Amino acid sequence: MREGHLEETLRRIIAEALSTRVKDPRIGFVTINEVRLNGDKTIARVFYTVMEEGEDRRKSQAGLKSSARFLRGIIGDSLRLRTIPRLVFLYDESLDRSFRLEQILEDLAPDAGETPQEDDARGKKESE
Q: What is the structure's pLDDT at 109? A: 77
Q: What is the structure's pLDDT at 91? A: 94
Q: Domain containing 51 — which CATH number?
A: 3.30.300.20
Assess whether 61 and 76 both reside in one domain: yes
Residue 112 has pLDDT above 90, yes or no: no
Number of domains in the chain: 2
Domain that holds residue 13: 3-92
What's the chain's average pLDDT?
86
Q: What is the structure's pLDDT at 53? A: 81
Angle (deg, nearest 10), helices 55-78 and 3-20: 120
Tell me which residue of 68, 66, 48 sits closest to 57, measured CA to CA.
48
pLDDT tens profile 29-85: 999 999 999 999 999 999 999 988 888 889 999 999 999 999 999 999 999 999 999
